[in-house]
Chains A and B, each alone.
Chain A
Amino acid sequence: MPKIEIDEKTCKSCGLCIEACPKKCIAFSKEVNKLGLPWAEFVKPQDCIGCGFCYQMCPDVCIEVYK
């Protein structure tokens, strides 16, 4: 099953990956990181198709995609 890993420490909470994911696998965390921001969390791993759209849109290169 494809999966992504998001670096919660460097995520700036812009939301571009959340918007880009066609399967709505990503959502903001309830907690905040050291930047004081909710980070993007991989919440629906079962739905991920490994398209990499989240990776393409992340301006901070926080996402790795496995397939």
Chain B
Amino acid sequence: MKKIFSRPESLTNAPFSYCPGCGHGIAHRLVAESIDELGIRERTIGVAPVGCAVFAYNYFNLDMTEAPHGRPPAAATGIKRTNPDKIVFAYQGDGDIAAIGMSEIVHAANRGENITVIFINNANYGMTGGQMAPTTLLGQVTQTTPFGRDPKREGYPIKVCELLSSLEAPVYLERVAIYDPKQVLNAKRAIKKAFANQVENKGFSLVEIISNCPVDWGMTVMDSIKWVKDVFIKTFPLGIIKDKTR
């Protein structure tokens, strides 16, 4: 009998600090598996965000650093340009990438930096207790939209992949989900491709992972999974938004 699935080498043994059922854990594992399978663990450098994933440097068995809120794509740019032989990725939440860090991601993508960005969209600010994020759905109740997000007051959900797809330089933008095993395997394919693109010097790749934040959404884990499937992905349709590598 062979061990067919176990903890990837690119994860440390530190237990995750995430809430029970939180999608960050699955996303971490998929990133780690992709790095293992591409054989790039010894030359990969990750940039952790501000947000619930702020301790990602404790969880990845890689060279890691941590950037100020929203700045991982800028930090990753510097690391990659000074170490072009390294594989560099930024790991970011939706508050990090689409609110305070909107400028950094747009310009890194527009410059076509040869980096990989893993973007966890959980429709709110998880770490600080569930405030509205730019990705919060219309009508969604958060700590700062107690009556639901109203487009007249808070604007519309920002679709980061679609927005970046208007730029010339990005080569690969895909939105995936992790609400069941089939979606998880599909997310793995996308993440691995986003890293492989960098290995092959193809340019800027970003994978948006539609995730769940059960505690801040005020839901059970199962209800949060159901909400992703029935509601969340209606606003954020899954699929390849742009692929210039094909």
Contacts and interface: CB of A to CB of B under 8 A. Distances in A.
B71 interface: no
Contacts, number: 74
B5 A65 contact: yes
Given A56-B184, A61-B7, A3 B1 contact: yes
A12 interface: yes
Contacts of A37: 20
B21 A53 contact: no
Interface string B19-44: 11111111001000000000000000
A63 B21 contact: no
A27 interface: no
Given A14-B221, A15-B222, A66-B2, A61 B29 contact: yes
Contact of A60 (B1, B16, B185): B16
Using C-beta atoms within 8 Å of the partner chain, give the interface range for chain B. Answer: 20 to 34
Interface string B45-89: 000000000000000000000000000000000000000000000
A12 B17 CA distance: 10
A19 B221 CA distance: 11
A33 B4 CA distance: 26
B180 interface: yes
9 contacts: A12-B19, A15-B222, A19-B222, A56-B5, A57-B181, A57-B184, A59-B29, A64-B7, A66-B1
